[in-house]
């Protein structure tokens, strides 16, 4: 048995704390820093996610994790100039894996503050350059170039957490955990979700493009490693809104939909033209942009903008927001369990959802399918529930 002592568990009062590898060596090396209990939970969950995406889609994948759920996930598709600016990477020569992380981090930059990054491919200089500039707790990847490793080792005063994991590692099929002195044993959820799982189209509209199929795969694999209940919105190979850990399905759908709307509003020309005061850091910029696009910011919060922006332009009116959000189209929605009521479909439509993937199995499946038909949506039922706790 291998044992690695940790500073403490989930909270500072939870001592002692350690991780153990039973029957074999640890499948990873800590190259720098001193990862904690939650760091390792984020690292191992996020690594599984990006590894599976790379396996199924054969593209570099990245995830930005916080508290054992992804704030963002993406594959390495090219970025347009608007997204490069919105993600603060317009002056970086992006590699595919760097692009994947820029997309993952850019999905919900507020939630990604202090994230754990997971990369499916070897971390290169471009990816390390992005990470160096962001507030992040650590990174896990199958390897690092010499240049990238040196860049990352200088982060956080030399304390940045860097984990290299063996991509060939496969754990035991049985997993065990303890809760309140009781041992729980189950078969690991080692199903690899793929294109064969999205063949059961149950709506009148059966027009499913290759891009929509790809985004459905991305949604399902993301949900597999997101704390339940969970729903996510996907567009062009990246999560644009994730609602995790809600007790009600509609609350997941609303939360994720609101995040998708904010993601899209941040690409509005008035937002992209904001001029920040010299010395304004990335977190201050992210907070200012979030306040600028939200329609519920208080007067006190809006006054904070004056300390970050050179000038505060006219904010987006209700009409401006509604008009701009009409451009959010062809979004894919994934759910880790069935939709019990059509209100989820009604909310999804407001955020441009055209394609839905979900397990099905509700007594109200017919009503949910009928609501999709009203909107001309395509719905796939997989029969695979993806709860994760």
Q: Check residue 313 and give its pLDDT.
A: 85
Q: Check residue 43 and give its pLDDT.
A: 97
Report the pLDDT averaged over residues 247-270: 96
The answer to pTM > 0.85 is yes
Same CATH topology for 2-165 and 191-264+325-381: the answer is: yes
Averaged pLDDT of the chain: 94
Q: Are 339 and 361 in contact (CB under 8 A)?
A: no
**Above 90 in pLDDT, residue 299?**
no
Q: Check residue 267 and give its pLDDT.
A: 95
Q: Is the dihedral of CA 113, 119, 123, 125 positive or negative?
A: negative
CA dist list (Å): 77 to 147, 235, 268, 332, 359: 24, 11, 21, 16, 27
- Number of Cβ within 10 Å of residue 297's Cβ equals 16
pLDDT class of 303 with cuts at 50, 70, 90: confident
Q: Before 229, cis peptide (omega within 30)?
A: yes
Q: Give yes or no: 58 in active site.
A: no
Report the pLDDT averaged over residues 19-23: 86
Sequence-distant (6+) residues with CB within 8 A of 315 are 292, 302
Which ranges in the chain belong to alpha helices (H)? 37-57, 81-86, 96-106, 125-133, 146-153, 210-224, 249-265, 269-272, 282-293, 299-304, 318-325, 343-350, 365-375
Instruction: Classify domain 2-165 at the CATH superfamily level.
Output: AICAR transformylase, duplication domain (3.40.140.20)
**Above 90 in pLDDT, residue 294?**
no
C-alpha count within 13 angstroms, C-beta hemisphere, residue 234:
29
**Above 80 in pLDDT, residue 40?**
yes
Q: Check residue 389 and give its pLDDT.
A: 92
Catalytic residue selected from 67, 153, 251, 277? 67
In this structure, what is the dihedral angle of CA atoms 30, 156, 77, 53, given to the nearest 10 degrees? 30
- Number of Cβ within 10 Å of residue 56's Cβ equals 18
Catalytic residue selected from 66, 155, 224, 355? 66
- Number of Cβ within 10 Å of residue 129's Cβ equals 19
Report the pLDDT averaged over residues 185-195: 94
Q: Check residue 296 and give its pLDDT.
A: 77
DSSP string, 14-56: --SEEEEESSS--SEEEEES---HHHHHHHHHHHHHHHHHHHH
In the chain, where are the structural domains located? 2-165, 191-264+325-381, 269-315
> What pLDDT digit, counting tens, does each position of 73-83 carry?
999 999 999 99
Q: Check residue 361 and give its pLDDT.
A: 93
Sequence-distant (6+) residues with CB within 8 A of 323 are none
**Above 90 in pLDDT, residue 315?**
no
Q: Provide the CATH topology of domain 191-264+325-381.
A: Cytidine Deaminase; domain 2 (3.40.140)
Q: Give yes or no: 251 in active site.
A: no
> What pLDDT digit, counting tens, does each position of 143-178 carry?
999 999 999 999 999 999 999 999 999 999 999 999
Q: Give yes or no: 287 in active site.
A: no
Q: Are 286 and 109 in contact (CB under 8 A)?
A: yes
Report the pLDDT averaged over residues 178-190: 94
Catalytic residue selected from 39, 45, 161, 229? 229
Q: Check residue 125 and give its pLDDT.
A: 97
Q: Are 145 and 114 in contact (CB under 8 A)?
A: no
Q: Give yes or no: 229 in active site.
A: yes
**Above 90 in pLDDT, residue 132?**
yes
> What pLDDT digit, counting tens, does each position of 145-154 carry?
999 999 999 9
Catalytic residue selected from 81, 178, 187, 389? 389
**Above 90 in pLDDT, residue 253?**
yes
pLDDT class of 26 with cuts at 50, 70, 90: very high
């Amino acid at each position: 048995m291998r044992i690695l002592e940790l500073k403490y568990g989930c909270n500072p009062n939870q001592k002692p704390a350690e991780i153990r590898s039973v029957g074999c060596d640890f499948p990873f090396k800590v190259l720098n820093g001193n990862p904690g209990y939650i760091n390792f939970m984020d690292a191992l969950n996020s690594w599984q996610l990006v590894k599976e995406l790379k396996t199924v889609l054969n593209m570099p994948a990245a995830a930005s994790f916080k508290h054992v759920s992804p704030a963002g996930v993406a594959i390495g598709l090219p970025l347009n100039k608007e997204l490069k600016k919105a993600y603060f990477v317009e002056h970086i020569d992006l590699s595919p894996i760097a692009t994947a992380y820029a997309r993952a981090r850019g999905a919900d930059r507020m939630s990604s503050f202090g994230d754990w990054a997971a990369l499916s491919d070897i971390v290169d200089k471009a990816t390390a350059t992005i990470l160096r500039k962001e507030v992040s707790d650590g990174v896990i990847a199958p390897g690092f170039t010499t240049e990238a490793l040196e860049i990352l080792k200088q982060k956080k005063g030399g304390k940045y957490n860097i984990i290299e994991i063996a991509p060939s590692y496969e754990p035991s099929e049985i997993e065990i955990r303890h809760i309140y002195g009781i041992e729980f044993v189950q078969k690991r959820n080692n199903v690899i979700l793929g294109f064969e799982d999205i063949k059961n189209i149950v709506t009148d509209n059966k027009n499913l493009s290759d891009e929509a199929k790809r985004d459905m795969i991305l949604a399902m694999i993301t949900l597999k490693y997101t704390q339940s209940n969970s729903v996510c919105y996907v567009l062009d190979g990246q999560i644009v809104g994730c609602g995790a850990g809600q007790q009600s399905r509609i609350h997941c759908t609303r939360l994720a939909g609101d995040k998708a709307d904010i993601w899209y509003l941040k690409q509005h020309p008035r937002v992209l033209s904001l001029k920040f005061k010299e010395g304004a850091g990335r977190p201050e910029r992210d907070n200012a942009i979030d306040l600028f696009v939200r329609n519920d910011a208080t007067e006190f919060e809006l006054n904070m903008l004056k300390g970050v922006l050179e000038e505060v332009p006219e904010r987006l009116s209700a009409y401006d927001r509604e008009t701009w959000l009409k451009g959010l189209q062809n979004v894919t929605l994934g759910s880790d369990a069935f939709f019990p009521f059509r209100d989820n479909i009604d909310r999804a439509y407001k955020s441009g959802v055209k394609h839905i993937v979900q397990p099905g199995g509700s007594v109200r499946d017919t009503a949910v399918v009928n609501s999709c038909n009203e909107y001309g949506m395509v719905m796939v039922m997989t029969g695979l529930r993806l709860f994760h706790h």
